[in-house]
Structure formats: C-alpha cells, structure tokens
Amino acid sequence: MDFALTSELADFQRHLRSWVNSKLPKDKANAWEAKEHQYPHELWDLMSEQGLHAVGLPEEYGGAGSDVLSQVVIGRELSRTLGGLVWTWGLSSFCARSIAESGSEALKADLLPRLAAGDIKIAIAVTEPSGGTDLLGALRTTATRTDGGWRISGQKIWSTAAHASDYLLLLARSDQDVEKSSHGTTLFLVPTSSAGLDIRQIPKMGMRAVGSCEVFLDDVVVSDDMVVGEVGGGWRSLLASLNNERIIVASLCLGVLDGVLEDAVAYMKVRHAFGRPIGRFQALQHYVADMTMWQRQSELVIYHAAWLQQTGQEVGTAATMAKVVASEYATQAADLGIQILGGMGYAQETDMQRYWRDVRLYRIGPITNEMGRNLIAESQGLGRSF
C-alpha cells in the first residue's frame, strides 16, 4: 500500500503552499473576513490568476483535468490560512462537477471554459427553509412547464455567495406525481439577473465575508437549455456534486486543523509563564499530541475517499465518513487552540477564533454529522432511521 502523494502532486502541494503564504497569508485573510458582508472579489481574482478554478474540470473545456486528489490538496492548502474564506474557491468547483457530468454539450461548451478561467461564479441553491439536511422531503420549490422553458417559484436558504454569483444551481420539483421523493426533481441553472429573483444575505457567526443567502423565486422563468441533466432526474445529476462536496469539505476541515496546529505550536514556543515557555507544560503538550493524531487520522480517511472517487469506485459511505471524522476533529482542535492561546485565543486580532467560528459549521453542513452517522450505520445493513 502506498500512502504517499505522487511526486507531481507533492510538487504541486509545495508550490501551492508557497503561493498561499505569499499571496493569501493569515493576516490578509483576517482583514478580508473583517469586512463583513463584503464578498472578497480580490481573493477570487487571485485564485483565477493562479488557475485554481480550472482544477477538477475536463481539459477539453479549458480545465486542468478531473483530478479529485488535486482538489483535496487545494482545499487543504487554501483553508490553512483562509478558513471559511476558502468557499470563494469551493462553490463554483462543486457546481462545475454537476455541469461537467450531466450538462448538455451546449451548456458545457458555454459555461465550463468561463468557470475554468474564473470569469463566472455559480452558487448552490438546494436547501429549503423547512428542510435542512432533508433536501428531498422538504422540497417545496416548484418548476412548471411554460412556453420554451420553466416557471420556478419557491424559496431556498443557506445559498452561499448567491449574492455575488452569476448563476444558481437550483433543485426544484418538476413533477408531483412520483413514487419516490428523489423522482420528479430537475436541476436548473438560474441566472441571478432573472426577473422575480430576490437574494438577501443572512447575518451569521462565521464565514462572514463570503456571505450566505436566502433566495426567493417568484415566477422566475428559465429556458429549456438551462436544465442540467434530464428533466425529472435532478437528484441523480446533483449526486455527483454531493459526494465530491463531502470529500472537499473534509479537506477544508483538515486545512483548518493544519492552521490551528501551526498557530498553537508557534504560540507555545514564544509565550512564557512561570519562568518558562508554555510549550514545556505537559497538559498543553498533550493537546498538541491529540491535534497531531487527529490531523493524521483525518488525512488518511480523506485521501482514501478521494482515491475511491478518482478510481470510479463507490464512494458515498467513505465520503460521509471523511466529512464526519475531519469536521469533528477540526472543531475540537480549534477549541483547544483557543484554550492554548488563553485570552488571546478569544481576541479578534488572532486567527484562532476565526478558525473556530468558521469550522463549527462543518458539523452541520453540507450534511449534519448525525445524518452522516445514520448513513454510515445503514451501510452496515441496519434499517433506515430517517
């Protein structure tokens, strides 16, 4: 068994870390994040110049190749300094996967090159106000046939960066007469400039600058060519993004864990108390030892899931496990990081509080860890609990 990255991927990781340290340092991330509700367009442009939006997209459409392991490396390295600001990169990457795998040739030819170049942004709009993780059971947004297209009405919530995006990747129910809730759903690309579309930001604890939004659709009309995949097969078209999303979210958690550990160790070397560096205190050393073990465990389960997806194997359970494991370890690590820094960990001038505020969301979304455990248990042959 080979647990090492390929030489090419290891070189890419070293290059990316150097670039992140130079262009996206932690103090700059803190400054971007402090501008609450102001989307960091400068950060998006820097990522575009570096070609990061092209990773994960097919080469024939201007991408750098559909390499899940490279996406994991990018997610990890970016979130080490950016924390939740990493979603500036992640969102369009997830949406692009559904377009690349299920979109029409015309859609792919039109949108994927522009996505790869960073010329357009796409946000996911699937969660409904009454549903949370129950995407299908709570699906109330409807799409009705009209002349040459569809009329969409309903409401979405927690659509990250919808206010700064050009399109929404939106799931709606197009047929009410179905046997299973996953049937009769259709995936649409909805231009955010559409008449009848209203987007409002939600004030929240973390990930402030990227913005999370409520989306209101009042008879929004989209054309037939904006359907992604088959009419009635929207859930199937979305699944390619959902499994990939869990793997990438896990990598974002690992990156936060990297940043937390980095900051904690650096602080323990320079902070003195009772006549010596606090890095010599046994209790704090145990905290660092725990974080180091969590880091390695997360790394192994994440890279295994990414390898499964990249080699075309069944990845649903592995992707869910990676997300649950990494999010819980990263949240625990960020909390211990605050404890190590003491009062300074609670001060807004340090990054530790930003890591904690941002990473706490990952135990809730894109799927709650409780629901994740349900799915993992079900994979062992137990009956469905939801």
The residues spanned by each domain of the chain are 7-121, 123-233, 236-378
- Domain 7-121 identical in fold to domain 236-378: no
Phi-psi region of 339 (alpha: psi -120 to 50; beta: other; left: phi over 0): alpha
Task: Give the pLDDT confidence score for residue 181 in this predicted structure.
Answer: 85
Which CATH number describes the domain made up of 7-121? Answer: 1.10.540.10
Task: Walk along the chain (386 residues) in steps of 10 and give the mean pLDDT of each run.
Answer: 84 96 95 86 95 90 86 96 93 82 92 94 92 82 94 96 95 89 93 97 91 96 95 86 89 98 97 96 98 97 94 93 98 98 93 96 93 95 87
Fold of 123-233: Butyryl-CoA Dehydrogenase, subunit A; domain 2 (2.40.110)
C-alpha angle with apex 18: 15 to 24, nearest 5 degrees? 120
User: The domain at 236-378 falls in which architecture?
Assistant: Up-down Bundle (1.20)
Distance CA 84, CA 91 (A): 12
Which pLDDT belongs to residue 135?
79
Please tell me whether residue 191 adopts helix, strand or coil conformation: strand
Give kind and range of the element (H or E) at residue 189: strand 185-191
3-state secondary structure of 350: coil
What is the spatial distance between Cα 29 and Cα 79, in angstroms, rounded to a whole number? 10
| Non-local CB neighbours of 228 within 8 Å, separated by 6+ positions | 98, 99, 102, 103, 107, 169, 187, 188, 189, 234, 237
**CB of 169 closer than 8 Å to CB of 98:** yes
Query: Regarding beta strands 212-223 and 149-160, do their DSSP bridges make them parallel or antiparallel, or are they unpaired?
Result: antiparallel
The pTM of the full predicted model, rounded to 2 decimals, is 0.93
- The SS3 of residue 126 is coil
